A and B are shown apart, each in its own frame.
Chain A
Amino acid sequence: MNSLSSADIVQGRSLWQDAMARLWKNRLAMIGLYILSFMVFIALLTPWIAPYSYEAQKLDMGAVPPNTQHWLGTDTFGRDLLTRIMYGGRISLAVGFIATAVALLIGVLWGAIAGYIGGRTDAIMMRIVDILYALPFMIFIILLMVVFGRSILLLFLAIGCVEWLTMARIVRGQVLAVRHQEFVDAAVVLGLSHWQIIRRYIIPNILGPVIVYITLTIPSVMLLEAFLSFLGLGVQPPQSSWGLLISYGVETMEEYPWLLLFPGLVLSITLFSLNFLGDGLRDALDPKASKD
């Protein structure tokens, strides 16, 4: 019986290690990851590496197309577009990631607890979600702004607090489906605590839809920020964000097309990268999706 040589013993690896190994082999996802990392890196370093100041105006120069001094051209106030895109990226990426993280945290916890406990707790928790759904979003945000004053951080939280509702619903539905599978009962019989079961048996099995939803939420949050800023509730000039740059670019599209083209391009590349990375992560976390 004890004839097991050391060659027979293979070291086990966790799902996450396996997932990283699989992600590493997915070229499209890795390109997405590199581009996103590059964007974040630039955004962090912007105050030190930006070629100009984001608010320095050269009114006499006005809007000029891309040239050697201003690689991406300038806007109607003569401000350097590259600099404004870099500073805008700081706001947009932060809104996108932080608001989505808030939504993710609240949504997954809320949905997982409701789905796992089930019964009356589930019914009450989901009715609360329904009631919050029914609240007009704009009034909610305006109220927050009136009470707490205008601040970027509050904007992040406010958007996150609205986006978690859908996340909670998605997660709860998935948990209900997983909850009654026999492997969960098997885990109970093994003696695992509820928290261990949620963490190790339930959550890994619902990640697929959650990741897809995240990749959809980040862009919608970025556009939401542009909308709120447009209404005067979000970022205020001379600060900017990608969303604001684009909406400004749309107004002047006919005379100065580069003001729309470049911010639009940057946002599109970011969203593409996010989608590629999201799809890659979803596949990497599903052992069935790929063979290695």
Chain B
Amino acid sequence: MALLSVDKLTTSFYTRDGIVRAVQGISFTVEHGETVAIVGESGSGKSVACYSLLQLVPQPPGRIESGRAFFNGIDLLQCTEQEVMKYRGNHISMIFQDPMTSLNPYMNIGEQLIEPLTYHHKTSTANALKKAEAALTEVGISEAKKRLKQYPHEFSGGMRQRVMIAMALMSEPELLIADEPTTALDVTVQAQIFELIKAIQARRNLAVIFITHDLGVVAQIADRVLVMNNGEIVEQGSTRNIFNDPQHEYTRMLLDAIPVSAKPEPFRYRAGNAKRIILQLKDVNASYIEQPASLLHWQEKRFNVVRHVSLNLHKGEILGLVGESGCGKSTLAKTVLRLVTEDSGSIKFDGTELTTLSAAGIKDLRKDLQIIFQDPYASLNPRMSVYDTLLEPLKLHNIVAPIEYERTISQLMDEVGLSPRDIRKYPHEFSGGQRQRIAIARALAVRPKLIIADEPVSALDVTIQAQVLELMLHIVDKHHLSMIFVSHDLSVIRYICDRTAVMYQGEIIELGSTEKIFNQPQQEYTRKLLSAIPVPDPEYYGHT
């Protein structure tokens, strides 16, 4: 008998704007010890489906309309809240996406770990703590006894996710639901977490449902795959079959959209104009400043996050800047943009020394130097219509005569693939990908020479990522722009960048053509980064 068998589950949300059918009659099974991946883009209903099983969907506005979900022969959907509580965190455990927010900052790790045991099994605190220590050791945290007394802020992101896994394992569950457990983590950490989950799973015959949008992850970890789109399962099958012989059009679209190293596409290398250096950094140092908490002890804490960085950017090329979170790549980008003042060094942009520029000089510079941010939900003013957002730069720098405003704005919209009819709309009326297009249009409006893109596609779904990357390539070529492309995602870098700089602990440790970085990495760290990229090819991981 299958461990979990879901039959025609339907969940809807009753909102002011109408009924949203998030999950529409899906059926699937999970066997003991099996790993099933549910893949889909944001809004496909993959999380809602799993949350419905444990009645974790807020009701109202949500409502589980119909369906059955047998777990060990008991229909979870017919259970009362009290009965379902016996399963939550006990027979069925969950791990969430963001390890930064899913632990209680005011409780030490030990107290949080023993809670499922003392609650569900009435285990004594001493015994529970012993088990907690064992669980921490199992997830690879050394000095477990000492660590139990520490608070979440004393752990790094990867460590916290390990703690979450330890917590999920405490009550010896039969099913683990992991909702995008590594999306917030760096690739190298992600690889370790997968290894860990696989090892534990084999040891305990644990079934795992893996919710993810990343096909690379799927290939690496799943036995079987369910592809979800618009609340329905459009295709399911073994990982190998899904990758090698996708039946449904949507599955093929997902697979095509991956900008990856596994795809035998040639490396992109447009030499740029090596004689014309548009940006030159020499021995730049910059710090991240933490504000003091008390007026009486006014001592700013400075963290030197960019160290001795020197690099040249040629006109017309896209330079990738890759590294893990905290390596200083965003601070470096902000230093070039004059959002952060450097501690020392020289930054020359198109012949002008930026570090000694006056306020008026900086305003002129703004016209030539633009940025595209990571989060398209935070980078547009929610109280400004698209028209006003795009009008701002035109007006400020007198790019065109006032009579040309409307025409120019419509052209910009056209260029980034949006309808000029939508210019009166506000940002929230657009999807994530469309908003990123608006941000690109805003950057283009001043007709810049250099655009710095800070993780511009990290917040987008894969199919949207591919489209936005295409657009960026197009505008770089069309307007003869130069671009610095900051990312933690090597497959994106591989797809778009001509040259790549690898950053580690504030320093650029390797710089060369993207092809050379990928095929002949010189540094140990670069090799580690490359080997950690999930490859969307099940053969690579030896699945059968």
Beta-carbon contact of A10 and B379 below 8 Å: no
Quote the shortest CB–CB distance from B164 to chain A (angstroms).
27
Question: Beta-carbon contacts of B375-393 to A below 8 Å, as 1s and 0s?
Answer: 1001111111111100111
A205 to B334, CA, bound (A): 24
In the assembly, what is the distance between CA of A263 and CA of B457, in Å? Answer: 62
**Min CB–CB distance A185 → chain B (angstroms):** 6
Residue of B17, B373, B446 with most partner-chain A CB within 10 A: B373
Bound CA–CA A286/B396 (angstroms): 25
Given the contacts A10-B423, A190-B392, A4 and B407 also touching, CB distance less than 8 Å: yes
Contact of A118 with B291 at beta-carbon distance under 8 Å, contacts A10-B420, A15-B384 already known: yes
Q: Given A15-B385, A118-B291, A185-B371, do A8 and B421 touch, yes or no (CB 8 Å)?
A: yes
Within 8 A of A (CB), among B355-414: 362-363, 366-367, 369-371, 373-375, 378-388, 391-393, 396-397, 406-407, 409-411, 414
Query: Would A201 and B385 count as touching, CB distance under 8 A?
Result: no
Q: Are A204 and B383 in contact (CB under 8 A)?
A: yes
| Contact call A188/B420, Cβ cutoff below 8 A | no
* A1 B411 Cβ-Cβ under 8 A: yes
For B428, the chain A residues whose CB sits under 8 A away are: 287-288
* Chain A residue contacts of B369, Cβ below 8 A: 189
Once bound together, how far apart are the Cα atoms of A151 and B201, in whole Å? 80
Contact A9 B406 (CB under 8 A): yes
* Contact residues in A for B387 (Cβ distance below 8 Å): 10, 12-13
Distance of A29 Cα from B531 Cα, bound (Å): 61
Whether B383 and A12, one on each chain, are in contact in the complex, defined by CB atoms closer than 8 angstroms, is: no
Interface footprint category on A: 35 or more
Interface positions of B from 421 to 463, Cβ below 8 Å from A: 421, 423-424, 426, 428-429, 439, 442, 446
Whether, in the assembled complex, B295 has its beta carbon less than 8 Å from a beta carbon of chain A, the answer is yes
Q: How many A-B pairs fall under 8 Å by CB?
A: 118
**Binary B-proximity of A1-24 (CB < 8 A = 1, otherwise 0):** 110100011111111001000000
| Complex: chain B residue closest to A14, CB-CB | B388
A191 to B399, CA, bound (A): 13
Q: How far is the CA of A200 from the CA of B391 in the complex (A)?
A: 13
Contacts of A201 in B (CB 8 A): 381, 384
Whether A190 touches B410, Cβ cut-off 8 Å, given contacts A15-B384, A119-B291, A287-B383, is no
What is the chain A residue whose CB lies nearest that of B384? A15
- Docked CA distance A274–B50 (Å): 46
Residues in chain B near residue A286, CB distance under 8 A: 383
Verify if A186 is at the interface (C-beta below 8 Å from B).
yes
A205, B383: Cβ atoms under 8 Å? yes
Closest to B381 in A: A183
- State whether the Cβ of A123 lies closer than 8 Å to any Cβ in chain B: yes
**A15 and B379 contacting across the interface, CB-CB below 8 Å:** no
Task: A182 to B379: give the CA distance in the assembly, Å.
Answer: 4
**Most chain A CB atoms below 10 A, which of B337, B381, B386, B406:** B381
From 332 to 368 in chain B, residues with beta carbon under 8 angstroms from any chain A beta carbon are 334, 337, 339, 362-363, 366-367
Interchain CA distance A288-B424 in the complex, whole Å? 14
Query: Is A10 within 8 A of B380, CB to CB?
Result: no
Indicate if the CB atoms of B396 and A190 lie closer than 8 Å: yes
**Interchain CB contact under 8 A, A190 and B366:** yes
Does B382 contact A205, Cβ atoms closer than 8 Å?
yes
A12-B380 in contact (CB<8A): no
Other A-B pairs, 4, CB within 8 Å; known A182-B379, A189-B337: A4-B420, A8-B410, A11-B424, A189-B366
Q: Pick the 7 closest A-B CB pairs, nearest first.
A: A12-B387, A191-B366, A287-B426, A182-B379, A204-B383, A182-B373, A182-B378
A interface residues (Cβ-Cβ under 8 A, vs B): 1-2, 4, 8-15, 18, 118-120, 123-124, 127, 181-183, 185-192, 200-201, 204-205, 285-288, 291
| B interface residues with partner A (beta carbon < 8 Å) | 17, 291, 295, 298, 334, 337, 339, 362-363, 366-367, 369-371, 373-375, 378-388, 391-393, 396-397, 406-407, 409-411, 414, 420-421, 423-424, 426, 428-429, 439, 442, 446
5 A-B pairs (CB sep. < 8 Å): A4-B420, A12-B386, A191-B396, A201-B384, A204-B384
